[in-house]
Amino acid sequence: MKSAFRLIALAMLVALLAACARETVPEPAPPEPAPPARPAPAPVETAALDPRDFTDPRNLDNTDSVLYQRVIYFEFDRSTIQSQYEPIVRAHAEYLRANPSARVILEGHTDERGSREYNLGLGERRGNSVYELMTAIGASSRQIEVVSYGEERPVCRQSNEDCWQRNRRTEIVYTAR
Amino acid sequence: MTAKRRSLFTRLSWCWLLLALPLLAHAQLRIEIVDGVEGAMPIAVVPFAWEADGPPPATAISDIISANLYRSGLFAPMEERDMIDRPSRPPEVRFGTWRLQRVDHLLIGRVTDSPDGFGQEIEYHLLDVHSGRVLLSRAQPVGPGDLRLGAHRVSDAVYEALIGIPGAFATRIAYVTVSDLGGEDELFELVVADADGFNPQAIVRNTQPILSPSWSPDGRQLAYVSFATGRSNVVVQDLYTGQNRTVSSDRGINGAPAFSPDGRYLAMSLSRTGSSEIWLLDLQTDRLQQLTNHWSINTEPAFSPDGRAIYFTSDRAGRPQVYAMNLDGTDVRRVTHEGRYNARATIGPDGQRLAVVHGDGNDFRIALHHRDSGQLRVLSNGPLDESPSFAPNGSMILYAARRGEQGILAAVSADGRVRQTLVASAADVREPAWSPLIR
């Protein structure tokens, strides 16, 4: 009797595992698909895409455009924007200025070293640095929200400088284009 | 994220949650002693006679007590198989036998049904083998199903009788576990368990981060930081009713909650003004008062045991250091000076010792700062130790550490001599908080 129950339980577990496994077959992760509601404009109307036109929403998905880049990296325990990342912030600030209905969240992150709550503060400071440069260039403060995740959302999980470098970042996340 | 992707995500999470639940229910911390004290006191905890109705519990009371005393690092309990006698009442004790076996103290007892018919009673006697004196003779009442708690209370009494300070065995610990749900998804759980790792219960589950649990002084409530909404919020949850209340959800950071010793106030770090500052929330009136006003990061408030000062972390001098101030925010003074990085202070019950995260380059360890001497003593081995939490009797400091890529908990005695690790089988464990003494 007992073993019959075990068999049934085992069968259920296997079924559940199979169901989960089926669902977790990795979908090919495509870049955000274009919203299907908006039909593609007729080719006649399409101006040639200039990757340096930071007011054009199409450049957000154009790998050749600076607007495609959304991550600013920082040095340890620092929140100043290094010069090589300034063009990215400027491009997005110009985009926001030209597209007043666009909205972004600036997600501030840190590496794992040090205490978690202090890192929340540090992550926010990194978000704020980007926020200040963006608003100085003309983006509206109403378009931007800073959210700090501290060390809670690493992109890389090993304990070495290579990984820490990738985790010390501000991500520009569009919630409206 | 499109609607379709979101629904798939929800389905996936639930699916894995269903699978994971039975496993998590058993995900108990395993305690391993790393270093003990040389010259620990030899004691014999004789199996207690079971004179109550029904079968004895699977884990004997004497085993729980022995394990507790051993874990403290201060006792060397005798193996049961080496015991020649099994007395359960003082007149049955033949001291000569125990003296020959080089035991200093003897704990004997028996379990009977409670005279009022409700639960049981543990009658126990602690004896000095050399003088033959009875040091303790008590009856510990236990509610139905509470034998483990009863064993912890007996351990507390024995510890206090022989060491001179109250034991902290009948307490609980809170911590956060993080398990992989596959892909990018993680499951965060806020868990409360007995101080020996038994009876773990997840009181909050979420796929978004949970951190900084903090006990109310009566041990009834936990305040913590939840990212359930995608942003940081401070939540206070009642452990008995399960009810919770979001007490702070302003723009910016809502973090680092700490109860005042009288339970009336909650200190937090909020960045609603643009920079993170220490604020004090009156939990009775909901009145909120700003204590610090400085452009730097001000966070990790901790009350002194007398409730008259708040310690906190600030990088106003360039690097994070621990500061103290009065409850109204006046008289801010720097407390730690040694080293480049001192943060996340937790205050010992004597108010004189502060455990901090002490950083030196890539190395982060737990250190003890003595207020009177101003000296800092490193207690842990690093390299990524954090979140220290004092045992309520001041004997041990519990903290989060790394073993390879796994997050574990570790504990070290305040004198640095006793070490142990608390490891969960699969999950990452972090953010420990030791409860106050629960009477």
Task: Specify the number of domains making up chain B.
Answer: 2
CA distance A30 to chain B (A): 12
Residues of chain A in Cβ contact (below 8 Å) with chain B: 13, 16-17, 19-20, 23-24, 26, 33, 77, 112-118, 120-122, 124-125, 128, 145-149, 152-153, 157-159, 161
Shared domain for B152 and B239, answered yes or no, is: no
Shared domain for B78 and B129, answered yes or no, is: yes
Please report the DSSP string for B161-187 in residue order. Answer: HHHSS---SS-EEEEEEEEE-STT-EE
Shared domain for B141 and B223, answered yes or no, is: no
pLDDT of residue B12: 41
Average pLDDT over residues B382-398: 95
Shared domain for B45 and B177, answered yes or no, is: no
Shared domain for B210 and B255, answered yes or no, is: yes
Q: Do A148 and B253 touch (CB under 8 A)?
A: yes
CA distance A147 to chain B (A): 6
Note whether B374 and B340 are within 8 A (CB): no
Average pLDDT over residues B51-61: 92
- Residue B371: pLDDT band (50, 70, 90) is very high
- Is pLDDT at B73 greater than 50 in this prediction? yes
Q: Do A117 and B211 touch (CB under 8 A)?
A: yes
Shared domain for B338 and B401, answered yes or no, is: yes
Cα-only R_g, chain B: 24
Q: Do B253 and A152 touch (CB under 8 A)?
A: no
- Residue A45: pLDDT band (50, 70, 90) is low
pLDDT of residue B37: 67
In a domain, B27, yes or no: no
Shared domain for B184 and B75, answered yes or no, is: no
Q: Do A17 and B19 touch (CB under 8 A)?
A: yes
Q: Do B209 and A112 touch (CB under 8 A)?
A: no
Compute the mean pLDDT over every residue in chain B, rounded to the nearest whole number: 91
In B, minimum Cα distance to A27 occurs at B5
CATH number at residue B62: 3.40.50.10070
| Assigned token pair, A169 | 């970042």
Query: Other CB atoms closer than 10 Å to residue B417's CB: what's the count?
Result: 15
pLDDT of residue A23: 38
- Residue B4: pLDDT band (50, 70, 90) is very low
pLDDT digits (tens, 9 = 90+) for B341-351: 999 999 999 99
Residue type, B110: R
Report d(CA B61, CA B75) in Å as an integer: 17
Grouping H, G, I as helix, E, B as strand and the rest as coil, residue B111 is strand
In a domain, B59, yes or no: yes
In a domain, B21, yes or no: no
In a domain, B232, yes or no: yes
A121 → closest Cβ in B8, B211, B253: B253
pLDDT of residue B438: 80
In a domain, B410, yes or no: yes
Burial bucket for residue B105 (CB in 10 Å: 0-12, 13-18, 19+): buried
Which of A117, A129, A159 to substitute to test the interface with B, most B CBs within 10 Å?
A: A117
A152 → closest Cβ in B209, B344, B357: B209
CATH number at residue B337: 2.120.10.30
- Residue B92: pLDDT band (50, 70, 90) is very high
Compute the mean pLDDT over every residue in chain A, rounded to the nearest whole number: 83
Ordered domains of chain A (ranges, CATH): 52-176 (3.30.1330.60)
Shared domain for B221 and B251, answered yes or no, is: yes
Shared domain for B179 and B156, answered yes or no, is: no
Shared domain for B102 and B222, answered yes or no, is: no
pLDDT of residue B2: 38
Report d(CA B46, CA B88) in Å as an integer: 8
- Is pLDDT at A38 greater than 70 in this prediction? no
Residues spanned by the domain of B126 = 38-163
Q: Do A116 and B211 touch (CB under 8 A)?
A: yes
In a domain, B12, yes or no: no
pLDDT digits (tens, 9 = 90+) for B278-321: 999 999 999 999 999 999 999 999 999 999 999 999 999 999 99
Shared domain for B299 and B240, answered yes or no, is: yes
In B, minimum Cα distance to A148 occurs at B253
In B, minimum Cα distance to A175 occurs at B1
Q: Which residues contact B224 (CB under 8 A, 6 or more apart)?
A: B190, B204, B210, B211, B212, B213, B214, B234, B235, B237, B257
- Is pLDDT at B260 greater than 50 in this prediction? yes
In a domain, B199, yes or no: yes
- Is pLDDT at A20 greater than 50 in this prediction? no
Find the distance separating the first CA and the last CA of chain B, reported in whole Å. 50
Residue A73 CA from chain centroid, whole number: 13
CB distance from B380 to chain A under 8 Å?
A: no
B12 → closest Cβ in A23, A145, A149: A23
B297 → closest Cβ in A116, A125, A146: A125
In a domain, B7, yes or no: no
